[in-house]
Amino acid sequence: MIKQNGFKILGTAVPRVDAFDKVTGRARYGADYNLANQLYGQVKYADFPHADIISIDTTEAKKLPGVRAVLTAKDVPGDRTFGAVIINQVVLCSDRVRYYGDAVALVAADTPGIAERAMLLIKIEYKELESVSDPQAALKKSSIKIYPKGNLCIHHKVRKGDLDKGFGESDIILEREYKTQKIEHAYIEPEAVLAEPGEHGGITITGSIQNLYNIRRSVAKVLNMPLNRVRLIQAVLGGSFGGKDETMSALCCRGAFLALATGRPVKMVNSREQSMRESYKRHPYKIRYKIGVTKTGMFKAIESEMYADVGPYASMSPFVTWRSVVHATGPYRFANVKTDVYAVYTNNCYTGAMRGFGSPQVCFAIESLIDELAEKLGMDPYEIRKKNLLKDGSITATGQKLNHKVGVAQALQSVIERSDFQNKWAANRQQDKDSQFKRGIGLSCSYRGISLGAEGTDAAGVIISIQTDGSLIVTTGLVEMGQGAATTISLIVAEELGVTTEKIRFLYADTSVTPDSGPTVASRTTFMAGNAARKGCSELLKRIKPVASELLKCPVKSLKFESNNIINISSRKGTPDKISFAQLAGACFQRGISLYTQGWYKGPHTSWDEHTGKGEAYFTYVYGANLAEVEVDCITGKVRVIDFYSSHDLGRTVNLNGAQGQVYGGVAMGLGYALLESYSETNGRPQLENFDEYLLATICDMPPVDVAFVENPDKLGPFGAKSIGEPACELAAPAIANAVYNATGMRIRELPLTLEQVLLGKNLVRSDERGSAKARSKVS
Ligand code: MOS
């Protein structure tokens, strides 16, 4: 049941429960863990993006004093491969390297310096192979094959209606192609693990790990051990954004090998250069659209073909690209749909989960396309969207009926009104052609399926343990990685039990203690852990309410749990009217009542038919709109984002500071995606290795961000809450690109909007840096 109002603490601005530890330096990140007698591990990386390994000679490295182990693939105790979906990633390469961040050998030594010197003494003889770096070229028959079966990792499709009929009914058909770049997660904390050989021949690994259970499965598989002997403990995470998943599988496996081989703890901490070289990135996409519309601006049909660069390992690509194909039509009504995505192996750095998970790419493309269509029709970008937005009861591209309040029009209305969009948009088109600084305004909308959807089993558990003094311990298999989960889950428990968040100690995940709750991804934590926490609380309340009623001498229905007290709301003078939560906890303990429970929540049904391209893809959706105002310097090409408005229908705000923080961070990442970031490679070789060349948005680039939430409580969500983490990150880039068009009349169909592109309308980045000019030519 959804309480419409009258919350005790939900939705208020409370301090982050982890704030004090973080700002005082007391928080322990992966690299802060040390053990007596520990060794230092190092990875020997590939010398080529694609090559056969002829021989590996570790003799000299082993002779170096202080070196305790040098390991290669033949020392791997179990399977050599792992993977969350398609099992093709290797812990150490044996006969072939497939990208420049592949690992060939490992060293453990007494000091990091000795380990590094030993790396230089490992001699590897290679036969370099031709590499393939363009996904479409990789699909050609003539292409070299990275795997015997060919370079197609996966193809997904969505089908609805009759495309020919839809285009037949259209007055205007527009075809466009967009490109998005590869980007790096750029978490401030590079990857770190400390692996300790444990009792029973097992292993304990503490580190910067986002998805402990996926990674534990990989480690157990390559070590050939049962899951209960592999213990993964989450350190405080200095950012992840989807990034500390498969990269950590590899690092955890390697740390474990070295620890088991030497019988000593092994610490492995990536440098920034190693992290940038090895860790997977956000998929670059090439996206072609064909859209049909009537003269009055009603959408009739849409077709899309997308190519995503997977690199050599599948990682999360099958799921990432599925999310793209499902969301490719944007938050609009189309009766006729055909979308296809091809995920293709190449010899570039592999790609995987990154905040947005296949949506930032399609959101940039579709929202640019809609603006281009509006221009063709002589409509304004707001008007055309309003006519076609999804509404209550609409049928999505995959054939799913939206049985909830669809908040996209409200979100759009909110940014339009706050910014005075239509007046500014029209005025900007009348700017003096010769002025150096031109203003622009642009918008974007999106919808987004929450949680895993038809990707897989969706369930989670939260452990709630009331101590005898009324303080609480809360823990779950889902992780705090900076996104605010610890505070949000604490708030839900606090709301249910009538305590304050200071009473709650949130413990980080530990695979030997917390329940496997699936991965902390897909903006699912508030929804999944929130529902699980509510179930746990309701179980505890069932146990403790009778005791409170006994102590307060009143019926259970007269009890009110609030501000760390239990109040008898029907009390008359002379009877005790209130006891503390601590008193109640103590009394329950004395009566032998268990104050410990796990709430478990299984997500509602979803479905997908890969053959028909139809299904109930997600159990519910969130909606959002962004609006950017920019000032373009027409002499330098510099785009300054000067104002920003954001609105999201997140169902219900649980953690106000946290939700706003997600939007500020999401906009900052989106701004970097729009204007600055690019992880460039030439024939599989990265062209940069650190943040001096990889341009990230900083506080200096950030405009004020005006956030407003729309609340349409969802019948499935905890107190109606849905999600905000990823929705906040997919909308900024198209809003900024559309604003640049409004300012300059120049449509840029490729991210990022570099100075050269903005100035000259084409990408003039050094050809040695970004591939040949031919590969970058655009359809228009
Ligand atoms: Mo995420 S990109 O769903 O970890």
pLDDT for the residue numbered 344: 98
Distance 452 CA to ligand 1 centre (A): 10
DSSP assignment of 124-188, as one string? EEEEE------HHHHTSTTS--SSTT-SEEEEEEEEES-HHHHHHT-SEEEEEEEEE--B----S
CA 725 – ligand 1 centroid, Å: 9
Residue 123 sits at the vertex; the CA angle it makes with 121 and 129, to the nearest 5 degrees, is 145
- φ, ψ of residue 274 to 5 degrees: the values are -65, -40
Strand-pairing partners, residue 164, are: none
In degrees rounded to 5, what are phi and psi of residue 438? -120, 140
Which residue's CA lies nearest to atom 4 of ligand 1? 242
Question: What is residue 630's three-state secondary structure?
Answer: strand
C-alpha 755 – ligand 1 centre gap (Å)? 30
Ligand 1 mean position, distance from CA 137 (Å)? 28
Q: Residue 341 gets which letter from DSSP? A: E
Please state the atom number of ligand 1 nearest to the C-alpha of residue 355.
2
CB 718 within 8 A of CB 530: yes
**358 CA to middle of ligand 1, Å?**
10
Q: In this predicted structure, what is the pLDDT of residue 200?
A: 83
- The pLDDT, as a whole number, for residue 763 is 52
pLDDT at 199: 78
Q: CA 366 to CA 327: how far, in whole Å? A: 10
Query: How many whole angstroms from 278 Cα to the centroid of ligand 1?
Result: 18
Rounded Cα gap, residues 60 and 55, in angstroms: 14
Closest ligand 1 atom to residue 521 Cα is 3
Q: Rounded to the nearest whole angstrom, what is the distance from the C-alpha of residue 181 to the centroid of ligand 1?
A: 18
Most ligand 1 atoms within 8 A of CB, residue of 355, 363, 528, 622 to mutate: 355
User: Residue for token digits 């009349």?
Assistant: 745
In the sheet with 437-449, reading across from the earlier edge strand, the strands are 437-449, 621-633, 639-649, 705-710
- Three-state secondary structure readout of 254-285: HHHHHHHHHCCCEEEECCHHHHHHHCCEECCE
At what angle are helices 381-388 and 408-419 packed, to 10 degrees? 160
Nearest to 176 by CA among 318, 19, 368, 36: 368
Under 8 Å between Cβ of 35 and 522: no
CA of 665 to the centre of ligand 1 (A): 15
Torsion of CA 168, 169, 173, 178, to 10 degrees: -90
- Show the CA angle centred on residue 40, arms to residues 265 and 692, nearest 5°: 135
Q: How far is the CA of 144 from the centre of ligand 1 (A)?
A: 31
Secondary structure of 446-473 in the HEC alphabet? EEEECCCHHHCCCEEEEEEEECCCCCEE
Q: What is the pLDDT of residues 109-136, one digit of tens each?
A: 999 999 999 999 999 999 999 999 999 9
Q: How far apart are CA 443 and CA 374, in angstroms?
A: 12
Which atom of ligand 1 is nearest to 520's Cα?
4
Beta pairing class for 39-45 and 266-269: parallel
Alpha carbons within 13 A on the beta-carbon side of 746: 22
Give the ligand 1 atom nearest the CA of 354: 2
Instruction: State the distance from the centre of ligand 1 to the C-alpha of 249, rounded, in angstroms.
Output: 15
Q: Among the atoms of ligand 1, which is closest to the Cα of residue 519? A: 4
Residue 522 CA, closest ligand 1 atom number: 3
What lies within 8 Å, CB to CB, of 197 at 6+ separation is 203, 259, 260, 263, 264, 265
Gyration radius (Cα) of the chain, Å: 27
* Three-state secondary structure readout of 51-108: EEEEEEECHHHHHCCCEEEEEEHHHCCCCCEECCCCCCEECCCCCEECCCCCEEEEEE
Please give the Cα distance from 730 to 633 (Å, whole number).
Answer: 25
Q: For 683, how many CA atoms within 13 A lie in the half-sphere containing its CB?
A: 10
Q: Residue 687: exposed, middle, or buried by beta-carbon count in 10 A (0-12, 13-18, 19+)?
A: middle
CB 211 within 8 A of CB 520: yes
78 CA distance to ligand 1 centroid (A)?
A: 28
31 neighbors 269 (Cβ within 8 angstroms): yes
Which atom of ligand 1 is nearest to 357's Cα? 2
Distance from C-alpha of 755 to C-alpha of 637, rounded to nearest angstrom: 4
Residue to substitute in 183, 208, 357, 480 for testing ligand 1 pocket (most ligand atoms within 8 angstroms of CB) = 357
Q: Are 347 and 99 in contact (CB under 8 A)?
A: yes
Cβ proximity of 339 and 306 under 8 Å = yes
pLDDT at res. 572:
77
Residue 642, H or E segment: strand 639-649
Write the CA distances from 703 to 332, 355, 631, 698, 742, integer angstroms. 29, 21, 11, 11, 18
Give the closest residue to 511 by CA, choosing from 200, 166, 213: 213
Given ligand 1 and candidates 521, 525, 662, 723, which is best to mutate, with the most ligand atoms within 8 Å of its CB? 521
Please enumerate in sequence order all residues whose Cβ is within 8 A of that of 253, keeping only pairs 6 or more positions apart, or say none: 82, 91, 218, 219, 222, 223
Q: Are 97 and 51 in contact (CB under 8 A)?
A: yes
Instruction: From the CA of 243, give the closest atom in ligand 1.
Output: 4
Cα of 307 from ligand 1 centre, angstroms: 20
> Given this model, what pLDDT does residue 760 score?
84
Kindly tell me the number of DSSP H helices and DSSP E strands found in the chain: 20, 30
- Pick from 316, 526, 618 the residue to mutate for probing ligand 1's pocket: most ligand atoms within 8 Å of its CB: 316
Ligand 1 atom nearest residue 210's Cα: 4
Report how far Cα 110 is from the mean position of its chain's Cα atoms.
37
Share of the chain above pLDDT 70, in %: 96
Global pTM reads 0.96
Q: Residue 251, SS3?
A: helix
Please give the distance, rounded to the nearest whole angstrom, from the Cα atom of residue 684 to the centre of ligand 1.
Answer: 25
Q: Which atom of ligand 1 is nearest to the CA of 242?
A: 4
Centre of ligand 1 from the C-alpha of residue 40, in Å: 30
What's the CA-to-centroid distance between 345 and ligand 1, angstroms?
20
Q: Ligand 1 centre and the CA of 320: distance in Å?
A: 9
Strands 285-293 and 299-311: antiparallel
Instruction: Identify whether the C-beta of residue 377 lies closer than 8 Å to the C-beta of residue 300.
Output: no
Residue 413 has a CB neighbour count (10 Å cut-off) of 16
- How far, in Å, CA of 290 to CA of 299, rounded? 11
Residue 667 alpha carbon to ligand 1 centre in Å: 17
First-to-final CA distance of the chain? 52
Would you call 215 helix, strand, or coil by DSSP? helix
637 to 429, 437, 439, 703: CA distances (angstroms): 18, 10, 13, 18
pLDDT value of position 779: 32
The alpha carbon of 749 is separated from its chain's Cα centroid by a whole number of angstroms, namely 24
CA distances from 245 to 84, 249, 315, 414, 666 (A): 9, 6, 9, 36, 20
Are 100 and 680 spatial neighbours (Cβ–Cβ below 8 Å)? no
From CA 340, how far away is CA 139, in angstroms rounded?
A: 15
How many angstroms is it from 244 CA to the middle of ligand 1? 10
Rounded to 5°, angle at Cα 359 from 726 and 663: 25
Token pair of 142 as six digits = 């003539």
- Collect the ranges in the chain with pLDDT lower than 70: 1-5, 573-576, 762-780
Distance 747 CA to ligand 1 centre (A): 30
| Confidence (pLDDT) at 247 | 96
State whether residue 362 is helix, strand or coil. Answer: helix
Instruction: State in Å: Cα 603 to ligand 1 middle.
Output: 18
CA-353 nearest atom, ligand 1:
2
Could you tell me which residues come within 8 angstroms of residue 504 by beta carbon, excluding any fewer than 6 positions away? 17, 471, 472, 473, 474, 490, 493, 494
Residue ranges lining ligand 1, Cβ < 6 Å: 242, 353-355, 357, 521-522
